[in-house]
Amino acid sequence: MAKISKARKAAAEKVDANKQYALSEAMSLVKQVNTAKFDASVDVHVRLGLDPRKPDQALRGTVTLPHGTGKTKRVVAFVTPDKEQEAKDAGADFVGLDDLVAKVTGGWTDFDVVVAMPQTMAKVGRLGRVLGPRGLMPNPKTGTVTMDVAQAITDVKGGKIAYRLDKFGIVHSSIGRVGFSAEQLVDNANELLGTLSRSKPSSAKGIYMKSVTVASTMSPGIKVDPKSIA
């Protein structure tokens, strides 16, 4: 236990808590100070000048990261029987309808993304109690309720991720793994941050991007200078 504490202490000493780092510097640093023994996730936390209680500021959407997330997403596809083979061919890990609805109702949630056809939503909607709290409920705004399930599955497998503003006005998103190069992490972060900037609601007042912090699963938080974002 002492060894871990020592490693974390050494990592914390490399990060100046009062400094805002350039994005490229922050991504190099997060790789250096990761203390996990596995290929940890690298996450970006963006505090926005939005009030999530206002419907026109409840930001959510999708972004396709150029280098993916480094994690293969397990996709559930709720489809009509005639679309099952199409969904399987596109790479869905679990395909069906009534059988899958029953399985999820029983508490099964061993998947990362749910894609559904509009015709299935009457049945999928009943899973809100299970899927909702985990952020897994399919939604037309994120392209996960669609007639073109094959394209939706291909997009998810290709690095498309959903983001949403939480109740504290923060967007949390994984943008890769510690094993990525600093350049890949910068590319992915810029794609996410650029998308958030372009998605700024017209009703937003004052400073929009209040703070940006990057951290791996087991590293100190590193503050990023918003001006360094491409």
214 against 205, higher pLDDT:
214
**C-alpha to C-alpha distance for 35 and 1, rounded to whole angstroms:** 13
Tokens 């897994």 belong to 136
Look at residue 2 in the predicted model and tell me its pLDDT: 45
Residue 221: pLDDT over 80: yes
The pLDDT value given to residue 195: 94
Nearest to 189 by CA among 230, 218, 153: 230
Residue 43 to residue 180: CA distance in whole angstroms: 13
Can you give the pLDDT at residue 162?
Answer: 87
What average pLDDT does this structure show over 88-113? 95
Mean confidence (pLDDT) of the chain: 91
pLDDT, residue 177, reads 94
Tens-digit pLDDT profile for residues 50-100: 999 999 998 988 899 999 888 888 999 999 999 999 999 999 999 999 999
Q: Quick one: which of 25, 6, 51, 7 has its CA closest to 224?
A: 25
Q: What is the mean pLDDT of residues 174-178?
A: 94
pLDDT at 5 over 90: no
Tell me the average pLDDT across 155-163. 89
pLDDT of residue 167 exceeding 80, the answer is yes
pLDDT, residue 47, reads: 96
pLDDT for 3 beyond 60: no
Residue 230's pLDDT is what?
60
pLDDT above 70: residue 4 = no
Contact 119, 28 (CB under 8 A): no
**pLDDT computed for residue 7 by the predictor:** 67
Alpha-carbon distance 195 to 190, whole Å?
8
8-45 confidence digits (pLDDT tens): 677 777 888 889 999 999 999 999 988 788 889 999 99
CA atoms within 13 A on the CB side of 41: 12
Ramachandran bin of 37, using left for φ above 0, alpha for ψ from -120 to 50, beta for the remaining angles: alpha
Alpha-carbon distance values, 19 to 185, 222, 224 (Å): 20, 8, 8
Give the residue with greater pLDDT, 127 vs 228. 127
172, 43 contact by CB (below 8 A): yes
